[in-house]
Every structure is written in structure tokens, then in C-alpha cells.
Amino acid sequence: MSDLRRREVITLLSGAAAAWPLAARAQQSGRRMPRIGVIDDAPNWDHFRQGLRDFGYVERQNIAIEYRSAQDNIDRLSRAALELASLPTDVIVVHGSPATRAARRATSTIPIVTIGVGDPVRAGFATNLARPEGNITGNSQLSPDLIGKRLEILKECVPGLVRVAFLWNPDNDSNLVFLEELITAVPTLGLQLVSAPMRTSDDFERTFAAMMQRRPNAFVMTADPLGQRHIMQITNFMASHRLPAMYQLKENVAAGGLMAYGVSLPVLFRRGAWYVHRLLQGAKPAELPIEQATKFELTINLKTAKALGLVIPPGVLATADEVIE
């Protein structure tokens, strides 16, 4: 073997050893394979699994992932969390406030990583962001400036905007925070708020019928998992009623929505793997700060704007991170 080839092999082996987590080494020594619990697997969890692979964790090789389905139903969430806690699991990973609350009720000892939660402090999941204190850590997609900025963009793009409908889930603590901030923000912009609460999938038709009776000029929603399960139904409803809508996720714009201003969920899910890695290495959840989103992206669908008869101001287009034509 040439010296050059020998150095390449040594470099490759050294890199693999550095990336090989303690979990894999524990498996070789005969200890139990680490087990992660996940509730309501969905496409964004692929980014979480990729994040795990970046740290050397490969599902069914050196880490086990237990999945439970709840479809964001409160009772099913509770059962799913209790099942994962009783297996037991080494870490439970959840998305959103309802699943986080269910996991916290199921266990006060197993570490919980929450991904894309709203306001973890006001929801009671953590004492503060820097030192959560309990068994929950992770990341948040809420920012104090988010609500007002979304309304400002919407008002600039929708001439004569007066009434803004807000779809929200009363069982999601983070949605309550959004509602409170909207109630504060709409008067400063000369707007009125139309509340459209939806707790379950069965509420969809009734909620939207009641909402339209109040004749909103525009519509906003959060990244609540329940709403995301109905996103095609929602975007089709907005199109059929020619109602401009502001979403929180750019994926909703790709699905036909008008515009979105918010964080990248794929980034948050991938970052969730870092927390799992640290916890499996022995870190305590109380010692890992909850990260708050600092970067937000504006995505605009010009095809949808044209169908709605809207002309997006050049100044708004210039600030967009992505424009779909």
C-alpha cells in the first residue's frame, strides 16, 4: 500500500471513530441499544432522522426509534406518551405544544426534546429558556416580533384589509400565545380579528362556515400540527373563496398558499437531533438551553397572488427569501 493510500485510510478510519457516538460503542459492549420515542411520524421527521445520521446514529443499527400515532388527538396523545414512557425510552421527541404537554404528563424523569414549540415558558414547559430546570428542552419557533410582522406584510399586500381571520387550536398552548399577541397587534394596524377555533378534525367545516359569516378579508394560521394535517383542504378553501392567506410555513406556500413568514421546520427538526445526541452522551435536559428562532423567511406564491387578483408590491417582493412563480 502506498504512503498516500495509507494516509487516506487512516484519515477515513479516524473520522469514522470520531463520529461514532457513545451509543454505538455501548451496543458493541453488549449494553441495550438506545431507544427514542416519537409521536406522530410525518415528513418533517425525515430531517430529524438525517440529523441523527449526521451524528452517527443509524436507525435499527445503533439506535431504535419507537413510533406511536395520535393524529394530534388529545386522548390519543396521552396514550401514546404513556406507552413510550412505559417501554421505557431514553428520550421522547415531540413536535408542538399538545404533544409536549402529553409527554410531560406521562413522565417527569425521561428527557423530552420538543421541536418547534411556541412559547415554552408561558406554556409551563420550562422555567426559562437558558435553564429549563425540568426534563424538557429543545427549540422554539416563536419570536416576539413574528405576529406583528406577519400582519404588516399582509396589510401591505391586501388593499382595503379590515378583518383578519385566525385559525387556532385552543388545546395548543402556543396558539393561545399567538391569539393574545394578535389581540394586541390588530388594533395598532387598524384591523379587526375574527377568531376561528378548531380543536379536532371534526370541527373543520363548522369552524370555517362560522368564520366566513363574519366576512374576513384575509386569513392567518400557525404551524399547529392539527392545521397542518388539513393544509390542502385549507389552501383549497382559501382559493375557492378568494381569500388571501398568510401561513407560518413555506411548505404551505408550495402547496398553493399565498405567502408565509416564519422559521424553517426542517432546520428545527434537524437541530432536534443535536439535543438527542447530547442527552445520550449524558447531558441533563435542565442544562441544555431551549433555542429560540432568530431567522425568519418570507415566501410568496405569485401564481396564487395572480389567481386572487393581487399585485404584490415590489418592496415586499424585494425582501422575499423565495418567490414561487
Task: Mark out the alpha helices in the chain (DSSP H runs).
Answer: 3-19, 22-28, 45-54, 74-86, 97-106, 146-157, 173-188, 204-213, 225-229, 231-240, 250-254, 265-280, 302-308, 314-319
pLDDT at residue 27 in the model: 44
Residue 248 in domain: yes
Do residue 137 and residue 172 come from a single domain? no
Entry pTM: 0.81
Exposed, middle or buried: residue 24 (CB in 10 Å: 0-12, 13-18, 19+)? middle
pLDDT band at 74 (very low <50, low <70, confident <90, very high): confident
Do residue 192 and residue 283 come from a single domain? no
Do residue 300 and residue 194 come from a single domain? yes
Better-predicted residue by pLDDT, 1 or 153: 153
pLDDT band at 293 (very low <50, low <70, confident <90, very high): confident
Residue 234 in domain: yes
- Dump the DSSP string for 187-230: HHTT-EEEEEE--SGGGHHHHHHHHHHT--SEEEE---HHHHHT
pLDDT band at 42 (very low <50, low <70, confident <90, very high): confident
Q: What is the CATH number of the domain that holds 256?
A: 3.40.50.2300
pLDDT at residue 174 in the model: 80
pLDDT band at 225 (very low <50, low <70, confident <90, very high): confident
Better-predicted residue by pLDDT, 217 or 25: 217
pLDDT at residue 257 in the model: 96
In terms of residue numbers, what domain contains 168? 146-262+296-324
Residue 4 in domain: no
Do residue 178 and residue 211 come from a single domain? yes
Do residue 135 and residue 223 come from a single domain? no
Do residue 119 and residue 249 come from a single domain? no
Do residue 235 and residue 253 come from a single domain? yes
pLDDT at residue 172 in the model: 84
pLDDT at 206 over 70: yes
Considering only CA atoms, which of 186, 134, 148, 189 is closest in space to residue 165? 186
User: How many domains does the chain contain in total?
Assistant: 2
Mean pLDDT value across the chain? 88
Better-predicted residue by pLDDT, 171 or 93: 93
